[in-house]
Amino acid sequence: MSQPSPNDPATTPASLRHRAEAHASAFPALLAQADHLASTVLLGEHGRKRAGMGDEFWQYRPSQHGDGVRDIDWRRSGRSDATFVRQKEWQAAQSVMLWVDDAMSMSFTGGKDRPTKGHRARVIAMALCVLLNKGGERFGLADRGTPPRRGEAQLTRVARHLMNAQAEVDYGTPNARILPAGSRAVFISDFLGDPSKVAEALTSATDHGVRGALVQILDPDEEAFPYDGRTVFESMSGAIKFETLKANSLRDAYLERLAARKAQLQDLARKTGWRYMCHHTNDPAAKALLWLYQSLERGAS
């Protein structure tokens, strides 16, 4: 593998500092957006009675490493030699692991008034983590070496990983081999890569008792194919390039293949006990977050 030249502009101290400052400025912005988005969902859900949420008593369990002193029920603990935690229904749920596609295809946006697919995916994922943390849940990233934990430090850790992630491939694929058995999982991607890899991941996850949700994020232009005349189609990495003089002649075939891909994902989710939704970047992020939040609750029941 060739090494970058010391004179490469991408490796100069000035460029490295610029990139570091860009990440540093985006980091609190991501947390702020996620926290605001999570708050809108909590306000919308306020007062709803459902399993897995609220203050309903679930059971006592022995205290574990990581439980705070405030978590311990001293009255129950006083009747034995061990300490116990009064666990609520929501706190009884299992860990949630997230895979957020960071491939280059997620950098696409068809309009300056819309976020990239990757940005929308990160905001939704981070907001979900905020909600899980508020409910006492453990959460982590399936492909970033962040085991499931809870707390503000974990939120910061996840946010930093999401901001710094950028795979040098056109399309990403989930890895289910490192999902804890019996956990829940969320895969957020455009799912425009090899569908067999997604099927392999969901089958492996299901074999280990993992259930979850797929969120396919697409730009409206990817749904409408608003191209006509001479057009050059190029992958985000530049590895794939195709030029045509009659782009509109490709529309029907493209839309047919996209519909088939979405149907394939829906069918795969149904067969494995997962849930699927398609979210567009011109739609409110809260809509996807609320669906995802409720889907995980149903999956835990």
Contact between residue 201 and residue 175 where contact means Cβ atoms under 8 Å apart: yes
Q: Give pLDDT, residue 60.
A: 66
Residue 228: pLDDT above 60? Answer: yes
Q: In terms of residues, how long is the chain?
A: 301
Question: Average pLDDT, whole number, for the chain?
Answer: 78
The type of residue at 74 is W
In this structure, what token pair is assigned to residue 40?
């809108």
> Lowest-confidence range among 101-105, 188-192, 205-209, 242-246?
242-246
What are the respective helix, strand and coil percentages of the chain, to the nearest 5? Answer: 45, 15, 35
Thinking of the domain 92-298, which architecture would CATH place it in?
Answer: 3-Layer(aba) Sandwich (3.40)
106-110, 127-131, 150-154, 187-191: which is most confident: 187-191
Q: Give pLDDT, residue 48.
A: 39
In this structure, what token pair is assigned to residue 275?
């849930």
Residue 282: pLDDT above 90? Answer: yes
| More confident position, 256 or 51 | 256
Q: Give pLDDT, residue 227.
A: 76
H helices present in 46-116, as ranges: 74-77
In this structure, what token pair is assigned to residue 240?
């794939």
Considering only CA atoms, which of 38, 199, 202, 30 is closest in space to residue 118? 30
Quote the crossing angle between the two packed helices 117-134 and 152-164, to the nearest 10°: 170
What are the domain boundaries of the chain? 57-88, 92-298
Q: How many CB atoms lie within 10 A of CB 146?
A: 17
| More confident position, 298 or 16 | 298
Q: Give pLDDT, residue 93.
A: 45
Q: What is the pLDDT of residues 195-215, one digit of tens each?
A: 999 999 999 999 988 999 999
CA distance 135 to 41: 13
Q: What is the pLDDT of residues 8-37, one digit of tens each?
A: 444 455 554 444 445 445 556 777 788 888
The type of residue at 282 is N
Q: How many CB atoms lie within 10 A of CB 73?
A: 15
